[in-house]
Amino acid sequence: MEGSEIVGASQGSLFQEQALREVTTQNSGLDDVCRRLRGAFEDVVAWKWDGRFGTALAEFPAEDKEKVLRILEGFLVSRWDSATIGEAPEIVQQIKTHFGGLMPGQLLLLSDPNQDALIYCAWWPWRDGKTISIRVGPYSKEEIAAPDKSALTVAFRDWFKV
């Protein structure tokens, strides 16, 4: 019995590794963006996993907002706020809905929104005015139903080291 459990566990691990390789191959552009984005933030913020939204989460002092925004805009080419979100493509609307809307001061930044899979960032200033949270995650039109368990999310966590 124990031997079959070990074989089953190792087969599951092999399956996960194979799925991770396939997702990485299919989304090599996202892989590159995530690894470079994480590298650009190496001495700026510390990342942790946010299971509530299925994203990497970082919090930083509001006085660092220009530096952080400059890094994000170097990788994420599309920017939406509460005034412009109504004109955003459907995929951006879906991400907005995932977060419960977009309030004044909040932003959504995305890699190319015309792709089936992309990287986004939700920018949330805190009410105290002293802290800002950013949540970075993957989004796929094909994996909307269970984003936290998707192969893309597993790959993202590996790429982002969270």
Report pLDDT digits (tens) over 116-160.
788 999 999 999 999 999 999 998 876 554 445 578 888 889 988
**Residue 100: φ, ψ to 5°:** 80, 20
Give the strands of the sheet with 48-50, arranged side by side.
Answer: 48-50, 55-61, 131-140, 117-125, 107-110, 78-81
Residue 57 has a pLDDT of: 98
Collect all residues with Cβ–Cβ distance below 8 Å to 101 and sequence separation of at least 6: none
Structurally, the chain folds into a number of domains equal to 1
Which range marks the domain in which residue 144 is found?
Answer: 2-160
User: pTM for the whole thing?
Assistant: 0.78
**Half-sphere exposure in the Cβ direction for 16 (13 Å, CA):** 13
